[in-house]
């Protein structure tokens, strides 16, 4: 089957008055429909830059990004982007925050409103629909931010360290929540994280990046013998440590 996303020999550098910062060097990989990819690598290596390129905020200096076989620019595929900060607006209710993207894209209609309500209900936020975001816990806010992205019906979801602003306990539960929602909705997802455990608990495949300029140093297909895909159950699976150590060694070859 044709990959939903294909990157071929991507190079990118930032140019500032102080000089050039080479961020990405010869990155190639492809992603299948419905796959959950995690990208791990040292801080500052170029992971967010890669998501910016896939989203179209930046153009590669060299190389090609194809979506379902066409150049990214010519593709009508919808890409959703979820960031570390949820960016919910406190002067709007949770429900009206969820409708915001639809409003901006002029896609607010009875069908999309219904879908928004359905997602709130399925993912346990129905009773908070008229609340302000400040009344929600950190984990619930991230769930609301994901629903705001999902209601736009993205074909590919980009997640840039979406749990890193949360405390450890909330982070585990929210990671579990969000991971299960993405699998239930059968979304293709690319998660950037510096947290190896998070990557192992969530991903089908982990791309390990080297320090800047980022090159792809290893690709690891994460497949538990138990077939487990639930993030919390994966964390409790005896195999978890083996996958963690494999990635850790790849990131710390001299340790």
Number of residues that bind ligand ADP (CB under 6 A): 13
Among 10, 23, 40, 53, binds ligand ADP (CB under 6 A): 23
Specify the pairing of strand 156-160 against strand 188-193: parallel
Among 25, 49, 189, 201, binds ligand ADP (CB under 6 A): 49
Among 16, 76, 134, 221, binds ligand ADP (CB under 6 A): 16
> Does the protein bind ligand ADP through residue 190 (CB under 6 A)?
no
The secondary structure of 204-219 as a DSSP string is: SEEEEEPSSSB-EEEE
Among 141, 148, 212, 234, binds ligand ADP (CB under 6 A): 212
Stretch that binds ligand ADP, among 38-46, 178-186, 217-225, 247-255 (CB under 6 A): 38-46
Q: How far is the CB of 197 from ligand ADP (least distance, A)?
A: 18
**Which among 140, 183, 226, 170 is positioned nearest to 34, based on CA atoms?**
183
> Does the protein bind ligand ADP through residue 47 (CB under 6 A)?
yes
Among 21, 164, 180, 217, binds ligand ADP (CB under 6 A): 21
Q: Which is nearer to ligand ADP, 16 or 76 (CB)?
A: 16
Q: Which is nearer to ligand ADP, 48 or 170 (CB)?
A: 48
> Does the protein bind ligand ADP through residue 14 (CB under 6 A)?
yes
CB 138 within 8 A of CB 165: yes
Chain-centre distance for alpha carbon 249 = 24
Among 19, 43, 106, 238, binds ligand ADP (CB under 6 A): 43
- Chain contacts with ligand ADP (rule: CB under 6 A): 14, 16, 21, 23, 41, 43-49, 212
């Amino acid at each position: 089957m044709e990959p939903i996303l294909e990157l071929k020999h991507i190079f990118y550098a930032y140019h500032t008055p102080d000089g050039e910062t080479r961020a990405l060097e010869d990155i190639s990989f492809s992603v299948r429909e419905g796959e959950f990819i995690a990208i791990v690598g040292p801080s500052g290596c170029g992971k967010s830059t890669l998501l910016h390129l896939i989203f179209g905020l930046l153009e590669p200096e060299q190389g090609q990004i194809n979506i379902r076989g066409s150049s990214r620019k010519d593709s009508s595929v919808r890409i959703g982007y979820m960031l570390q900060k949820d960016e919910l607006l406190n002067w709007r209710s949770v429900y009206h925050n969820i409708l915001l993207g639809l409003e901006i894209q002029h896609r607010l209609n009875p069908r999309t409103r219904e879908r928004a309500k359905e997602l709130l209900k399925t993912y346990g936020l129905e009773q908070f629909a008229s609340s302000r975001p400040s009344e929600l816990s950190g984990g619930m806010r991230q769930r609301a931010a994901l629903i705001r992205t999902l209601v736009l019906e993205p074909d590919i979801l980009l997640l840039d360290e979406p749990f890193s602003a949360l405390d450890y306990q909330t982070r585990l539960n929210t990671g579990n929540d969000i991971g299960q929602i993405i699998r239930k909705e059968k979304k293709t997802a690319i998660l950037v994280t510096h947290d190896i455990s998070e990557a192992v608990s969530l991903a089908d495949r982990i791309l390990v990046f080297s320090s800047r300029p980022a090159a792809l140093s290893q690709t690891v297909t994460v497949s538990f013998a138990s077939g487990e895909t639930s993030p919390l159950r994966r964390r409790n699976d005896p195999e978890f440590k083996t996958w963690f150590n494999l990635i850790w060694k790849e990131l710390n070859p001299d340790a």
